[in-house]
Amino acid sequence: MKASTFVVKVLIVGTILVVIQMVLGSVITTSVAIPKNALPWFLLSTLLVAAVVIVLGMRSDWPSPLRALALAAIPAVITLNNYLEGIIFLTGSGIDWRKEILRTCLLNAIAFPVWMILFRKTESEAGSHYSPLAKPVGEKIWRFAVADLAYPVLYFVAGTIVFPYIRDFYATQTLPPFVELLSVQLFIRGPILVAVCLVMTRMLGLPRLAGAGAVGLILSILNGIAPLIIPSGVFPDAVRWAHLYETSISNFVFGAFVAWVWSKPEGAAQLASKAA
């Protein structure tokens, strides 16, 4: 795809997402004050999400309904997964989480038929990518367990590094016990993100190293940069930027690791293509 074509597609998808969000925002209002300088960052964030949608949509070989479902579900699931984290940590934020959840679900439900129209592919083009799930049951179990265990490790390592910069802010919140926090990351958020990374790995259909880099970058955007680049009425700027660095880097490493663990080794992939 030419760079100019990609930019045009990103602008079209970004405009669609902005319009949907503005309409929903006027109907389902937020309970938190929005900073005056948020608009340009909101637009940039939306364009980043649009770029991800374009890349996944153009790379995927799935038929239109399944592809559109994945394009709507991936941002929704990641956002809802982050809301779980917010519900645990931001106890004094004043956020009405029911409204946030409803707005997110409606946004992606409305986007689904739009993605159906924009990303159409004939049946003859579908089904050519390698599936990371095309493995024996035993391999699936150990690979999933290793990928899942990596999430809380990266989560706590990254959190420890930035903790001096966010300590004062979280002193105003009621934090859960460590065991409860670990359980949420290991048994809920981690498995959800592993599943999301597997879906993206399958949609991209790239060689092992390139696929790992692409999945890491996309997860970094959707789960770190895009949500945290927007000025917030909840996070002071210093805390927001600390979290942005923390989550963007740790999510890149995690996404790349998951894709690498589940992808076919380069040598095996080359042998399979020669045999075909």
pLDDT (average), residues 4-29: 95
C-alpha 15, offset from chain centre = 20
Tell me how far apart the alpha carbons of residues 251 and 218 are, in angstroms, rounded to a whole number.
9
Q: What tens digit of pLDDT does each residue of 143-161 get?
A: 999 999 999 999 999 999 9
pLDDT exceeds cutoff 50 at 235: yes
pLDDT exceeds cutoff 90 at 122: no
Backbone torsions φ then ψ of 94, nearest 5 degrees: 80, 10
Q: For residue 276, what pLDDT is reported?
A: 39
pLDDT exceeds cutoff 60 at 273: no
Least confident span in 30-34, 104-108, 179-183: 30-34
pLDDT exceeds cutoff 70 at 54: yes
Inter-axis angle of helices 190-204 and 64-89, to 10 degrees? 150
Confidence of residue 93 (pLDDT cuts 50, 70, 90): confident
Least confident span in 29-33, 132-136, 193-197: 29-33
pLDDT exceeds cutoff 70 at 125: no
What is the amino acid identity at position 114?
V
* Local structure of residue 33 (DSSP, 8 states): P
pLDDT (average), residues 16-20: 97
Q: What percent of the chain has pLDDT over 70?
A: 93
Mean pLDDT across the chain = 92
Confidence of residue 121 (pLDDT cuts 50, 70, 90): low
Among candidate residues 255, 254, 190, 189, the one with its CA nearest the CA of residue 56: 255
pLDDT exceeds cutoff 70 at 222: yes
What is the amino acid identity at position 54?
I
Tell me how far apart the alpha carbons of residues 56 and 62 are, in angstroms, rounded to a whole number.
11
Q: For residue 267, what pLDDT is reported?
A: 58
Tell me how far apart the alpha carbons of residues 60 and 62 are, in angstroms, rounded to a whole number.
6
Provide the residue ranges of all domains of the chain, joining segments of one domain with +: 3-120+134-275
pLDDT (average), residues 17-24: 97
Tell me how far apart the alpha carbons of residues 150 and 152 are, in angstroms, rounded to a whole number.
6
Q: For residue 91, what pLDDT is reported?
A: 83
pLDDT exceeds cutoff 60 at 33: yes
What is the amino acid identity at position 264?
K
pLDDT (average), residues 47-56: 98
